[in-house]
């Protein structure tokens, strides 16, 4: 399961984008995960990558606002990447699909819509009933 993004790295430094998308599905493992921060990255940066084959600690590449973390293709499955900057962690995760596999489609939630429709129907029945009672 992908990890949630922890955007705040320090008061003046937060993650503004991640590629591939956090929680996303890809057909092929990327060669790197790129985190873009709000400001140029300074200080010590380390990374951990968990793949279906295990855990690695690649050397991240820092260029201005971006931190690129190399990722080895370990085949289909869950990948998690954590970047530690100045002692604070930003994490992301994605899933590499098996050949021919489709990304799951989220089911729409109709709960609030159904409840609203029932309340409207109940209200109409009540109004019509009271109108009939008071017309006599």
Range of the domain at 58: 8-99
**110 assigned to some structural domain:** no
**25 assigned to some structural domain:** yes
Q: What is the pTM for the complete model shown?
A: 0.67
**44 assigned to some structural domain:** yes
**128 assigned to some structural domain:** no
- Domains identified in the chain, total number: 1
CATH of the domain at 56: 2.60.40.1220
For 6-52, what is each residue's pLDDT tens digit? Answer: 444 445 678 999 999 999 999 999 999 999 999 999 989 999 999 99
For 43-96, what is each residue's pLDDT tens digit? Answer: 899 999 999 999 999 999 999 999 999 999 999 999 999 999 988 899 999 999
H helix runs in 1-136, sequence order? 111-135
Are 92 and 81 a contacting pair, CB within 8 Å? Answer: yes
* pLDDT at position 9: 43
Taking the C-alpha atoms of residue 97 and residue 105, their distance in angstroms, rounded to an integer, is 13
**134 assigned to some structural domain:** no
Taking the C-alpha atoms of residue 53 and residue 56, their distance in angstroms, rounded to an integer, is 9
């Amino acid at each position: 399961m992908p990890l949630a993004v922890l955007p705040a790295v320090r008061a003046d430094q937060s993650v503004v984008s991640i590629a591939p998308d956090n929680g996303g599905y890809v057909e092929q493992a990327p060669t790197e995960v790129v985190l873009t921060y709000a400001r140029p990255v300074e200080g010590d940066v380390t990374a951990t990558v968990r793949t279906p084959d295990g855990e690695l600690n690649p050397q991240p590449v820092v260029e201005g606002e971006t931190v690129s973390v190399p990722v080895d293709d370990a085949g289909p499955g869950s990948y998690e990447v954590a970047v530690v900057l100045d002692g604070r962690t930003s994490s992301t995760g994605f899933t590499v699909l098996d050949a021919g596999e489709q990304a799951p489609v989220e089911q729409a939630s109709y709960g609030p819509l159904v409840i609203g429709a029932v309340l409207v129907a109940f209200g109409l029945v009540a109004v019509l009933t009271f109108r009939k009672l008071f017309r006599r």
